[in-house]
Structure 1
Amino acid sequence: MIHVIPQPGFRVIATGTILDANQSTEVTKKLKLTGVPMKIYKKTAFVKDMFNSSLEVAKFEGAKIRTVSGIRGQIKKALNKPAGAFRATFEDKIMLSDIVFCRTWYKVDIPHLYNPVTSLLLPPEQKDTWTGMKTTGQLKRERGLQNQPQFDSMYTPIVRKPKTMTKLKIPKALQKELPYHMKPKFKAMEAKTQRVAVVRNEREEKVSSLMKMLRTNFTEKHSKERQAMKARMLTLKARVAAEEEAKNQRQRVMKKDIFRTLSKLDAAAEKRKAKGH
């Protein structure tokens, strides 16, 4: 008799080679630089308030920039004055009210910590009871500490500069071709006279109420008279149409009798003329 022994579980064994043991870690953070144009020449613009010095501009030469309206551009060269201003070119002409921004990455330095853990070398009874360093959250909960809110992460009211619109200038040649109602008017408009509010007394209120009732009564009476007149007109039109139809019928019968009599007289005259021959 053969006994089959179940095959115990197995695991795949793989081998590898360590190529590098570098402990350096690089962490970057998103950074958005903003600026505003100070002068515009067609598709070229001079931008300020994005950098603090010409050295910073030199590091970002050739970087891609974009306006809030979606017009893309590129940083060219730094300007002498003011510090941090630069020349940039765009796909299309931008406005002085546009905001130019550049998306980049900022390297964040991480402090290094070396803490060797030798828990695997402990005896089995000590290895199960060993606990590592407490986390920051555990320490804060034990001591009842709370994180202080960061000012940069809080919502603050947005302060925007008031936008001043330039006055519209129409060339004189174009003003001559415009119709009169579209031509600019330079004469100041006359102020309308303000009417003084009248406060009625008790007697005037009664008179006004009586006049309002009389006006309503007259309007209702006039409306009923107009409706009655419309009904009379419709009846009269129907009677006149019936009389006209009867008259036309009598005229048709009369014409028919006259033409029949004339045709008989013509036939009799033709017979007399034939007998005379």
Structure 2
Amino acid sequence: MISRVAGALVRAFLVAFMLATPALILPGTPADTGQVVALVAIFAAILTFAEYAAAYPCLFEFRDAPPFNRVRFGVLFVIVGALSLVVRGTTDPDTFSTLLTLVGSVLGEAMSFRFGPLDLVVLMLPATAPDAQLALVTAAFGLAATVGLLSLALFFLLIRFSRWPLGEGTFNVWVNLPTFDPTGGRDVVRRLEWDGRINIALGLVLPFLMPAVVSAAAGVFGGLSLGHPQTLVWAVAAWVFLPTSLFMRGMAMRRIAAIIAEKRRSATPLNAGVVSA
């Protein structure tokens, strides 16, 4: 119990720190923005602590199946931190931010193709957008997309060459998939396979779909200004992290479905939603 609470406190602090990172790194953050960031960080920290300190989570998936959530958190933390440094480099350059910008620019140009995600975002920018803003968006996308792709490769290797999620011997469906009811509807393996395919498909489509949705909503709710430093950081981070997270979840669901199917074939019983090693 004590170790679980201590771990929950550490995770809550890390989540709050990650959410506050752009406000801490970027210069000239307005006081109102800082207050909003602090409020969001506190709320996220409380939610994280409640989920990890409780015996059974309500929202967070794969809580007891590391390193799934650790990889996702690490991806978002690296993306947010790197983009914050790149954006800060436009007004307060240093060696590291300049290096990140150069690397991101090269990677962004390499990933740019007609009607690709980057091309769609560039089309969202005003026609009067300066070349410096276009270059900044390209560098930010290049860095973020590279981190996302590397995380997918890392998680694929983890699934392919390790016993995940059976690292501790069992996988409790109720604890690690609190929003998934294994007793309802169709066969659990088919449902997991279907959920996995849907998540992977969304992960592939979302980078192309998000700019189009934002552009369509701009006429109703107003345009999204990527000229604001924190807006740029979080917009690009969400643009890359959400598809990456969905893709990882799809791979995880298909992995669990494969394990359950294998246990069935080998006549290993599944008791109370627990898949044993």
What TM-score comes out, normalization by structure 2 length? 0.15
Quick check: which one's helix share is greater? 2
What TM-score comes out, normalization by structure 1 length? 0.15
Larger radius of gyration: 1
